[in-house]
Structure 1
Amino acid sequence: MSTKNSVAVVGSLNRDIILQITNLPLAGETIHTQKAVSYAFGGKGSNQAVSCARNGSQVAMIGCLGQDSHGDEFKQMLQKNEINHRFVKQLPNENTGQAYILLQSSGQNSIVVSAEANHLLTPQMVQDSESVIQEAQFVLAQFEVLLPAIVEAFSLARANQAKTVLNPGPVIEADFDYLYALTDIIIPNETESEKLTGITIKDNQTLSESAEFFHQKGIEVVIITLGKAGVYYSNRKRQDSGKIAAHVVKAIDTTAAGDTFIGALLSQLALDYQNLSEAIAYANFASSLAVQKLGAVDSIPTEKEVKSKIKKLNS
């Protein structure tokens, strides 16, 4: 595996419980699953770390697990994927985070998360992990850990000349201006962008207005994922923006699609962003492979698989 960027991921690790159903139940309705309950490794932080690693990056994970069987299994999974887990703490008398995924026949999902140990990551724990942040070129975070830990991570990243990348999901109620000022790249999906900006995305004009909202907060690069409609990007410094088409396939499970995209993107992205559109196109292919498999971590493709798919489509 060729090493590209070095990435430190500050984020969640969840044990996924997957319930396959025809459609979401109505209020007061009881339904049966289509298949037996299945289990997988997940959590936005974990998924993104694995995607970075499988696509060639050197990766360190910062987060919390419970001191339970799920936590033990997570450590083994991270090690198998060559992810530095020195600063993934297993906390006594705590449970590993869990996510209950309602997977519909259409491939769309609804997720309910019980944060558990994820919400016990503290700024002090992040400070203790500064050695891996010092080595990173990108520091990536999401909102499945608490805001003070993210702010601490991004502050340390800025002090060590690392690029900061925020995936603002799930959106929480907070004043983000201080965090925005510490953010170099923001990657929301369409729904998250609308919640943060107050701008309903309808067309290219409203996409541009949404990007400008983030630029005015001090963020240089805005990447808004739009599902089947592709990805919109805006680079303020280069005055470059545009939309890149998605590679549309029949989806089986969309659970880790966005996380796969982000990890694959950072594995390819140059530190000066000069190959931004190419990195997004690569990440779109990675995401299209992920949605064709069940589960989160289990569905994330390797660089070899992505490049093989691209080669076949171009031949």
Structure 2
Amino acid sequence: MKKQGKKIVVLGSLNVDTIQHLDKLPKQGETIHIQDLTSAPGGKGANQAVAAARQGAQVSFIGAVGDDANGRFMTQTLVDNGIDVSHIVTKNVPTGAAYIMLEADGNNTILVYGGANMQVSSEDVLAASELIARADLIIAQFETPIDATMTAFEIAKQHHVMTILNPAPAQKIGPELLALSDFVTPNETEAAALIGRSVEFNQASLNQAAAAFEKLGVKNTLITLGEHGSFYKLADQSGMIPSFKVKAIDTTAAGDTYIGSFAANLNGDFSNLVQALTWASRSSSLAVQKAGALPSIPNFEEVQAAMQ
């Protein structure tokens, strides 16, 4: 895989993560001890932007923070990763936050406070119209308002810019945004929420899910399946990409690493689709072997070494 300097815009969330290290989740009404308490920069938008930047992409960010220490911390974190922050605006509410309950087996449960992320407006996006128009692709998730994403994807389509929608956290949306998305990248839970039926870890169920997305106007589907790998459907080709078997320490940001890495390495004509997906899978496998969301994301050279 060649290192690519693609121009990528990420419209998304900026959260400071507080990670509670637990043996196991408490039952309702139960009090348990937290083994350790750590914090790290995160948010799906920030994670995906950093993942793309560490793969050599030229990344710009559209988002919002509060006028607080967390906002300054998140903005500086992106700057430290070479990301253009000129379209991060300051809102009169606190910066977003996430509270992550991390179990000893590496699985996590996450509570998210949207804060300034949920104040990102269509006007904020319109102010970045030229940035979007010059990009190779734009990525968005569901941790900022849908209206802002619609505006961004409409601008992108006017200028023939590729769009990647990561529909997370899971929620039901209308077909208008899906129809503007070149790639939709849910996990199995998010896919089920969008199409209204369960998604199983087998080819028949995944093909049915892809067909359901196609009826909703989705051009290409990529469903991430955790340790089961991922499934892709692109025009008349489909298949499975296996995961790399590793001992997971923390699965936070695994999916974000996958998407950012995939976006940074995919050719504009999709000619290296399987190679880009395999590279993304390897990137994700490296991320889960370290603690924290954004700090765990590997760079291009680390993935290249692991692939060899």
TM range (shorter): over 0.9
Distance in structure 2 (CA, Å) of the matches to 1:2 and 1:76: 25
Shift of 1:62: 0.3
Contact 2:175–2:217 (Cα < 8 Å) also in 1:
no
Letter in 2 for 1:196: L
2:234 maps to what in 1? 235
Work out the number of aligned pairs and report it.
Answer: 306
Shift of 1:3: 4.1
Shift of 1:218: 2.1
Secondary structure of 2:153's match? helix
Distance in structure 2 (CA, Å) of the matches to 1:54 and 1:216: 35
2:185 counterpart of 1:187: yes
1:25 maps to what in 2? 26
Distance in structure 1 (CA, Å) of the matches to 2:75 and 2:225: 33
Normalising by structure 1, we get a TM-score of: 0.95
Residues 212-241 of structure 1, C-alpha deviations (whole Å, 9 max, x = no match): 1112222221100011111100001xx110
Secondary structure of 2:147's match? helix
2:198 counterpart of 1:200: yes
Residues 22-66 of structure 1, C-alpha deviations (whole Å, 9 max, x = no match): 11100000111112x111000000000000000011100000001
2:105 counterpart of 1:100: no
Contact 1:141–1:166 (Cα < 8 Å) also in 2:
yes
Q: Which 4+ runs in 1 deviate beyond 6 A?
A: none
Contact 1:4–1:268 (Cα < 8 Å) also in 2:
no
Percent of pairs with identical residues: 41
Counting only pairs closer than 5 Å after superposition, residues 206-245 of structure 1 correspond to structure 2 as: 206-236=205-235, 239-245=236-242
Secondary structure of 2:101's match? strand
Distance in structure 1 (CA, Å) of the matches to 2:84 and 2:211: 36
2:297 counterpart of 1:297: no
1:13 maps to what in 2? 14
Letter in 1 for 2:56: G
Counting only pairs closer than 5 Å after superposition, residues 1-315 of structure 1 correspond to structure 2 as: 2-35=3-36, 37-91=37-91, 93-174=92-173, 176-202=174-200, 203-236=202-235, 239-311=236-308
Inter-CA distance 171–123: structure 2 relative to 1 (3 Å threshold): same
Residue ranges of structure 2 left out of the alignment (5+ in a row): none
Shift of 1:114: 0.5
Distance in structure 1 (CA, Å) of the matches to 2:189 and 2:219: 20
Letter in 1 for 2:238: S
Residue ranges of structure 1 left out of the alignment (5+ in a row): none
Letter in 1 for 2:197: I
Letter in 1 for 2:50: V
Contact 1:199–1:206 (Cα < 8 Å) also in 2:
no
